Amino acid sequence: MGETSSGLKENLAGLLCYTLGPITGFLFFLTERRSKFVRFHSLQAIFFSAAWTISLVVIGGIFFFLPVLLKIFIAFVNLGGVVFWIALMVKSYQGEYFLLPLLGKIALENAEIK
């Protein structure tokens, strides 16, 4: 693993991209100039956070009038989100490019250093 613009090791910076979702994702994406690995994980963190939030909003809209189902579905989406969030942090710390379906490919294509 190499160094990053921030002086952190790539795997640690990759993990930190996910810690506060879009906040740390944007921070690392805007400041990283050396590591495609960190830029990839920062973009994937942003996309994952957006997808998770959008899915919660959509489920909230669909099941608004059925509060019991709403709570059940939101609990499942949050559980799945937390599991994926932890898996993404672990995989990035291990130095892996773990691509989420669709989102990971978009992140990888846009992580190029210019």
2 C-beta neighbours (distance < 10 Å), count: 10
Which residue ranges make up each domain of the chain? 10-108
Q: Give the mean model confidence (pLDDT) for residues 3-23.
A: 95
14 C-beta neighbours (distance < 10 Å), count: 32
Encoded tokens for 49 = 């956070």
**Could you give the 3-state DSSP secondary structure of residue 89?**
helix
State the DSSP H helix or E strand holding residue 45, giving kind and residue range, or none if neither.
helix 36-62
Q: What is the mean pLDDT of the chain?
A: 94
Determine the Cα–Cα distance for residues 72 and 30; give it in Å rounded to an integer: 37
Summarised one tens digit per residue, pLDDT across range 76-96 is: 999 999 999 999 999 999 999
C-alpha distances in angstroms, 17 versus 46, 61, 66, 69, 74?
Answer: 9, 30, 36, 33, 25
pLDDT for the residue numbered 64: 80
pTM summary value = 0.91
Determine the Cα–Cα distance for residues 10 and 59; give it in Å rounded to an integer: 36
pLDDT score of 44 more than 90: yes
